[in-house]
Amino acid sequence: MKRDLDTVGLVALLLGYSAAALLVPDFRPLELLLEPTIGAVAGTAALVTVVVVQRSKGRRGSLLERRVMAAFLALMPTVYLSSWHLHHGAGGWLGLELLGLGVFAALAWWGLKRSPWVLAAGIAAHGVLWDSWHLGRQGFIADWYVVACVVVDLAFGFYVATQARAFTEALQGSAPGSAAGPRPGSAG
């Protein structure tokens, strides 16, 4: 059953990213350097690549994977802050965006250091609460990005939830394929 849920989580991660990538409009290469939303799409592709490479090497629940998922959560609000700055968002949004940065950074740290369930919930909450709340309410970030981010966050949150046990075992040094390797005397 664990293996089946593990596979379902990885498939959800890949399908969620693929579905969200379909929402990205055509762009010029220079925009990759200038537009925060396009940079976020590229960063998310890099994250998916890290996960797939780790998994192809049999490293389920690795500390590297947990760290990049925590960084993903902590950096999510920077896309909104950067877009607010680049597109001259209304002044009233700055405080809210900074608050979001603090909240999601704290959840990322807590999820990294204490509980992968907090990491999973934080990623999903970013989509359900943060992104969806921004949809159609502000003029500094494109709605396609908000919708794509909801899809990605839900898929990644689900994926992290399917890996919670492996992340916990890796931190304790008992997961086969983890950075710490298997415990002496354990199979794998």
Q: Is 184 within a domain?
A: no
Q: Is 9 within a domain?
A: yes
Number of domains in the chain: 1
pLDDT above 80 (res 162): yes
pTM for the model stands at 0.77
Structure tokens at 68: 């990049």
Contact 124, 73 (CB under 8 A): no
Q: Is 177 within a domain?
A: no
124: Cα separation from own chain's centroid: 9
Contact 176, 182 (CB under 8 A): yes
184 C-beta neighbours (distance < 10 Å), count: 5
- pLDDT at residue 123, rounded to an integer: 97
The domain in which residue 68 lies consists of 2-171
Q: Is 96 within a domain?
A: yes
- pLDDT at residue 57, rounded to an integer: 87
Give the model confidence (pLDDT) of 31-67 as tens digits.
566 889 888 988 898 999 999 888 888 888 888 999 9
Q: Is 185 within a domain?
A: no
Q: What DSSP state is assigned to residue 140?
A: S
Q: Is 36 within a domain?
A: yes
Q: Is 178 within a domain?
A: no
User: Where are the alpha helices (H) located in the chain, listed in sequence order?
Assistant: 2-21, 29-34, 36-56, 63-86, 92-113, 116-125, 132-134, 143-162, 164-171
Helices (H) and strands (E) in the chain, counts: 9, 0
Q: Say how far apart CA 65 and CA 163 lie, in whole Å.
A: 10
